[in-house]
Amino acid sequence: MNKQWLLAERPTGLFSKENFQLREVIIPELKDEQFLVRTIYLSLDPTQRMWAQMDTYLPAVKKGDVMRSLGMGVVIKSRNPAFKEGDVVQGMTGWQSHVITDGRDYSLVPSKSGLPLEIYLGPLGMTGITAYYGLIEIGKPEKGETLLVSAAAGAVGSAVCQIGKIKGLRVVGLAGSDDKCRWLTSELGIDAAINYRSANAWQQLKDACPKGIDICFENVGGTSLDMALGLINVGARIPLCGYISEYAATEPGPGVHNLAALISKRAKIEGFLVLDYVHRSREALGELGKWVMDGRLKYRMDIDEGFENLPDSINKLFEGKNTGKLLVKVSEPPVE
């Protein structure tokens, strides 16, 4: 049997169990070119909140369809010569325990690398590619510059912080708890981390950026972006990766008020999507892999158990409760 979470209603605010419907269906027979995947991990990402609500860069998930999601699994039956039984694969599995696919948009995961499988949904997956190209291509870092990263303890943010250090930048992170800030400075070695919930966050940020901000890798938007705009230097670049402050908001946020600074500072805000860089993933993964091996790119996985709890687990992203990459484990990885 295949367990599936279908989207039942469009969410308002945080996800709730009522937005979804749990169903079990019989797994049909494979046709030629198809193979059957048993899902191991599902990747929980802020963008899924948008997919559930409205058309954006992808059409909204239709009501009654399986909730869209990146995932990883193992091939347990195959009639497709390119994907053999035992292969670990990655693709848009959706929120379900099993998938039948012809392999379009699926890729093989190098499961014999000795690295833990989940790393390929983290720093050596979409997360890492997002961090890499957003910082390198949009941010165009130059040694000695100051980089501000919001949601710095998140999956993408923590990778951006470390790539920034590798590129010779002064790196300042914004995060939502003192624990996260400690992790960022003492484990990841960034120059300063500020709990944006503290009363004097603005003063702390100014103190942490004595030479202003040259790059702001923005994952949050709203007030976070406004603070950064107050400190940007001439020619600053703001890669806009996410806007998590408003994805699950029930009312409009305070808006952004300091955009006029972009004029005086001849600065830019530029949105990007990792989808536009996937065809170049080899370059990014080469670099990222080297840094992981070197110990210069650390990561934390926040792995929840329990397929049934998916609607709760994903809300951790919008409540700032995860540190590092958030996954849900659906079944056991194959034993090596």
Backbone angles phi, psi at 79, to 5 degrees: -120, 25
Q: Which helix (H) or strand (E) holds 236?
A: strand 232-240
Spatial distance between the Cα atoms of 160 and 217, rounded to a whole number of angstroms: 8
Among 62, 197, 257, 280, binds its own copies (CB under 8 A): 257
Strand 20-25 to 325-329 pairing: unpaired
**Segment near its own copies (CB under 8 A), from 108-116, 124-132, 189-197, 250-258?**
250-258
Among 25, 82, 259, 293, the residue binding its own copies under the rule CB under 8 A is: 259
169 binds its own copies (CB under 8 A): no
Distance (Å, whole) CA 138 – CA 131: 10
DSSP states of 131-188:
HHHIIIIII---TT-EEEESSTTBHHHHHHHHHHHHTT-EEEEEESSHHHHHIIIIIS
Report which of 294, 295, 302, 289 is spatially closest to residue 188, judged by C-alpha positions: 295
* Minimum CB distance to its own copies, residue 259 (Å): 6
140 binding its own copies? (CB under 8 A): no
From the list 74-82, 91-99, 177-185, 234-242, the region that binds its own copies by CB under 8 A is 234-242
| Nearest distance, CB of residue 164 and its own copies, angstroms | 20
Is 59 a binder of its own copies (CB under 8 A)? no
> Of 26, 199, 260, 335, which one interacts with its own copies (CB under 8 A)?
260
Looking at 114, 210, 254, 295, which residue binds its own copies (CB under 8 A)? 254
By CB under 8 A, name the binding residues for its own copies. Answer: 50, 56-57, 221, 225, 240-243, 246-247, 252-257, 259-273, 276
